Amino acid sequence: MSTLSALPDVASQEVTSLDALVRGPIAAAVLRSLMRDQMRQMRENGAGVQTWTLPVFKALQEASGVEIERTALVSVTGRGIGRLNSSSWVGVMEAATRTQRSERQIRRLAASGRVIAKRLGNRSWLIDIESLENVLRRQAA
């Protein structure tokens, strides 16, 4: 509760931006809370990682001045920091053709979160082909 004791001092002043308010221990508390919630959503609901997660986490980390281990961040975001943006999206049918696997297997890997993928509708996915090839390579080894 030490972070809440800092609020009255800040609240009594005229704060013009959220950036000025969410600093130091407050930013660290918000970051921990968001990370816990993301982990819970992934564990309980099988929820995927939201696109805003990594930039927000990194901004809060910088604002807090706290160094978060890369492994902790990867466990929450579900992928390495450098792999957020992908430029090689393909449909399930094309991914199956390129990798000589069934469409069902590709959809299962996407649904389980083992490959980087975006959901389109009820059954369709856009698959990051590089991520898929890396996962299949690791499975074969």
Contacts of 134 (CB under 8 A, 6+ apart): none
- Residue span of the structural domain in which 58 resides: 2-83
Partners of 91 in the β-ladder: 126
79 and 93 both lie in a single domain = no
CA distances for 10 relative to 31, 34, 56, 84, angstroms: 19, 22, 22, 35
pTM: 0.41
51 and 115 both lie in a single domain = no
Can you list the positions of beta strands (E) in 33-120?
89-91, 117-120
65 and 104 both lie in a single domain = no
51 and 96 both lie in a single domain = no
| Average pLDDT per 10 consecutive residues for the chain, totaling 141 residues | 53 65 82 81 66 81 75 55 58 92 92 87 82 89 75
Into how many domains does the chain fold?
2
Query: DSSP string spanning 104-121?
Result: HHHHHHHHHTSS-EEEET
9 and 50 both lie in a single domain = yes
